[in-house]
Amino acid sequence: MMPILQIGPLAIPLPGLLLLAGLWLGLELAERNAHRFGLQASSLYNLTMVMLLAGVAGARLEYALRYPAEFAASPAGLVSLDSGLLDPAGGLAGALIAGLIYGSRKGLAWWPALDAFTPLLTVMGVALALSHLASGTAFGAPADLPWSISLWGARRHPAQLYELLAAALILAVMWPGRKGQITSPPGRYFLTFVALSAGARLFLEAFRGDSQLLPLDLPVGSLRLAQLAAWLALAASLWGLFHLGGPENKGYFDSDATSEPEQHLNQ
């Protein structure tokens, strides 16, 4: 565990730095491969920046609306770098709304855009696992195994390492342009990523020591909320994959497409 990276007088929070690095590398990978999904790199970059800025604003706005008196007394808090005052739900809502509005105005087709984002998401999965390793969060359940690690007062499953391994495997499987990879029809690439990630989370959550449990006692015990959410995501992605059909369906550059990728994809 290494939550702080000390470089001379600078104390840099390593988890945050890892996430930023993941965002940068993932965006670079996505931009380099945007052409495979009929998008221009600049379109993807602009959409990402719009969603990022709107996400941060939404995350902070949610807190400001919930605690108006505190922010009125200390307005500097509105623009502080304190990540603890960023609400994930508000951030996600802000990012999605801004993305929908921006994408609609630019005439971006959604399945190709989601496919083009997928390399970024796969790299962020690895970055998130590394940030968990650095911060000691997402820790494992107590277990006395040869490969257990000592963390937070007990020997535990190295859940962060399991997560890192799964994320790395998903990145390898989803690596853009990998031989034999199926990316048609539009949407299949993204939904495959969602299915793999949901499946991994569903499996690995069983080894976590910080699971939030459903407040319902069943004969088998208490169900883990993250597993239930992952099952729903898995079901939705498999339904989507079934609905999209197989690779024989129309892809990005079929014979009846125009020669201009973005004209073909703008709807």
Partner 1 sequence: MKFRFSNRVIIYIAILIVAALWILASAAAPGSTTIGRIPAPQAGFLAPEISLPTASGEIIRLSDLRGHPVLVNFWASWCPPCRAEMPAIQQVYQSLQSHGVVVLSVNAANQDDRAQAAEFIRSLGLKFPIVFDEAGQASAAYALHSLPSSFFIDSEGVIRDVVVGGMSEAALSIRLHRLLGETGGAASP
Under the rule (CB under 8 A), what is the footprint of partner 1?
3-4, 6, 11, 13, 63, 67, 70-71, 73-74, 76-78, 80, 82, 84-85, 136-137, 139, 141, 152-154, 199, 202-203, 205-206, 208-213, 217-218, 220-224, 227-228, 231, 234-235, 238-239, 241-242, 246
CA separation for the pair 228, 66 (Å, rounded)? 28
Minimum CB separation of residue 96 from partner 1 in Å reads 25
* Residue (49 or 228) nearer to partner 1, CB: 228
Coil/strand/helix, residue 12? strand
Tokens of 233: 């995501």
* Residue (55 or 140) nearer to partner 1, CB: 140
Instruction: Please classify residue 254 by burial: count the beta carbons closer than 10 Å to its beta carbon, then call 0-12 exposed, 13-18 middle and 19+ buried.
Output: exposed
* Cα separations in angstroms, 215 against 139, 212, 222: 21, 9, 7
Minimum CB separation of residue 246 from partner 1 in Å reads 8
φ, ψ at 62 (rounded to 5°): -60, -45
Minimum CB separation of residue 252 from partner 1 in Å reads 22
Minimum CB separation of residue 131 from partner 1 in Å reads 14
Contacts of 54 (CB under 8 A, 6+ apart): 94, 95, 97, 98, 99
Terminal alpha carbon distance of the chain: 48
* Residue (146 or 215) nearer to partner 1, CB: 215
Which residues does residue 5 pair with via DSSP β-bridges, in sequence order? 12
Minimum CB separation of residue 168 from partner 1 in Å reads 22
* Residue (81 or 259) nearer to partner 1, CB: 81
* Residue (42 or 222) nearer to partner 1, CB: 222
